[in-house]
Structure 1
Amino acid sequence: MPELTRMTWRETSGAARTAIALLPIGSQEQHSGHLPMGTDTMLAEAVVDGALAGLGGDPQVVRLPALPFGHSPHHLFAAAVSLRAATLQAVLDDVLDSLATTGFRRVLIVNGHGGNDEIMRLAVKQYSLRADVALAACSYFSLGTDAATPGHAGMFETSLMLAAHPDLVREPAPRPEVTPPPLFAEPPYPGLTVERHGEWARAGGSTDDATEASTAGGAELFGRRVSALADAIRAFDRATRESHAHLEGTA
């Protein structure tokens, strides 16, 4: 698997003509009392690396080092390293601009933190208006027909961490009953986004009970997420390969 960090500039420049540059992004933020701060970053990296291993080099992908910081102001009540929304968008814009200047014409951003999702997608939409590139963005947990609702520091993420990094998972405590239930986790109407001040602290930093998480369940979830990302990479490649070749031929 070609990794940008390990490549020379000549190797990078040569690969840029045909390869997809892939940037994982995550966060450093509280994940209740049993998961590490870097959970989102580590899971994004694990799913990306699993998908790239399954692809076996076809299509060619250059994997960038993960961006470990995201937009996490809602977790600062406990602990987080958070970028402002405008800062994260500016960082992504600079990364995309650097890759385009280097010669990459296809870039995929793979996100592991819900707070980054809208910002990442806006960055991709805006940059594609300025440069002759094909860009894509996704959160690994929302891909495919069996897309999951990951929650935060609950069963989904804890199960995945048990599969990917079991040595970093502490014993989860039962989530206390929260009354009234936080609106970010249980909106009063489908499709409605609701934020109420102080909800995350009141809910103890998680959206659901992690005590039902299991290594076996995590392995199954992990396999489905890896497969969905691999399918997404193949689809992005098929949809952009001919136009990319045309651009190279007219450059």
Structure 2
Amino acid sequence: MTLLTLTELTWREVRAAGAEGIALLPIGSQEQHAGHLPMGTDTLLAEAVIDRAAVHLTRHGPAPRLVRLPALPFGHSPHHLFAAAVSLSAATLGAVLDDVLDSLATSGYQRIMVVNGHGGNDEIMRLAVKRFALRAEVTVAACSYWTVTDRDGAGDTGDADDTGDGERPDVTPGHAGWFETSLMLAAHPGLVRTPVPSRAPVEPPPLFDRPPYPGLTVERHGEWQRVGGSTDDACGADAAAGHRLLDARARGLARAIRAFDAATHPGRAAAHPSQGEE
């Protein structure tokens, strides 16, 4: 089996898997997703992408041994407390990630990948990974699932039937909009409240989603509440688009895992970290 579950392993099996395997840690959030998506959307989607990526890896030749941890269900979500959220401070989330990574390293894992499902976690996650690798003899990777799409189609996973058509970069990833709603209609349709309401354009548009100049990060007090908790209109979302979007991210994550494995497998010369493997 390509994907093992930490919760179901004995401690000896954990140690054995850590010698050559890769630990996968999904992290998400519990926060408002407008009136039609559940609080755990970010956590559920991070898990769905990992599960589907494991399927792609299994289909196409020998795959690295992966051990998935239970998803960390809480993230940094103070910007959603105007409606409802369970939020960790940036310092607390960083400390939790540091403790989890330290536990994995002490338990024998030399390679760890964090897969994130919530935008508010991204910077904190990446900083935690960088800081941990400075003090522990491990190799740690991190990504947010929406950033690893397989835009080249089949790539090295062997799937040529879907090239990712239907992408809408203007509303990806967004929040509780077309992208996330389409994904949830594919992954967890029973949790989507229908009909999905239409959202009228908001003027002026929120600065956090459309900064006035490229490269700027802009936050204005009260923006999330003013726009009703979503970044774009979700009423055009559908399950067919969601399956294409989900498969593209799963294939991308599968390729990322293979590349991480090839570059960091035990026995690979550490003196040449820049050499990739196809």
Aligned to 1:107: 112
Q: Which residue, 20, 23, 26 being the options, matches 1:21?
A: 23
Aligned to 1:219: 243
RMSD, matched Cα:
1.5
Q: Which runs of 4+ in 1 moved over 4 A?
A: 242-246
What residue ranges of structure 2 are gaps of 5+ in the alignment? 152-166, 271-278
- Larger relative helix fraction: 1
Deviation at residue 144 of structure 1 after TM alignment:
4.3
Q: After superposition, give the CA deviation of every residue in 1:167-197 in whole Å (9 maximum; x if it has no partner).
A: 0001221112212111011110112110000
Look up the SS of the partner of 2:4 in the other structure.
Answer: coil
What residue ranges of structure 1 are gaps of 5+ in the alignment? 247-251
For 1:118 and 1:164, the matched residues in 2 are separated by 26
Q: Which residue, 214, 228, 242 being the options, matches 1:204?
A: 228
Tell me if structure 2 keeps the 8 A contact 1:25–1:112: yes
The number of residue pairs the alignment matches comes to: 246
Tell me if structure 2 keeps the 8 A contact 1:187–1:194: yes
Tell me if structure 1 keeps the 8 A contact 2:150–2:249: no
For 1:59 and 1:222, the matched residues in 2 are separated by 21
For 1:191 and 1:224, the matched residues in 2 are separated by 26
Tell me if structure 1 keeps the 8 A contact 2:149–2:251: no
Percentage of matched positions with identical amino acids: 68
Task: Give the TM-score taking structure 2 as reference length.
Answer: 0.86
For 1:54 and 1:177, the matched residues in 2 are separated by 38
Q: Which residue, 208, 225, 230 being the options, matches 1:184?
A: 208
For 2:199 and 2:149, the matched residues in 1 are separated by 29
Look up the SS of the partner of 2:135 in the other structure.
Answer: coil
Look up the SS of the partner of 1:17 in the other structure.
Answer: helix
2:97 aligned with 1:73 = no
Note the 1:95-174 alignment, pairs <5 A. 95-144=100-149, 146=151, 149-171=172-194, 172-174=196-198
Tell me if structure 2 keeps the 8 A contact 1:105–1:244: no
Cα pair distance change 1:163/1:178, threshold 3 Å: same
Q: Which range is displaced more, 175-184 or 64-73?
A: 175-184
Task: Give the TM-score taking structure 1 as reference length.
Answer: 0.95
Aligned to 2:46: 44
Cα pair distance change 1:132/1:243, threshold 3 Å: farther
For 2:238 and 2:19, the matched residues in 1 are separated by 43
Aligned to 2:155: none
Q: Which residue, 229, 239, 260 being the options, matches 1:236?
A: 260
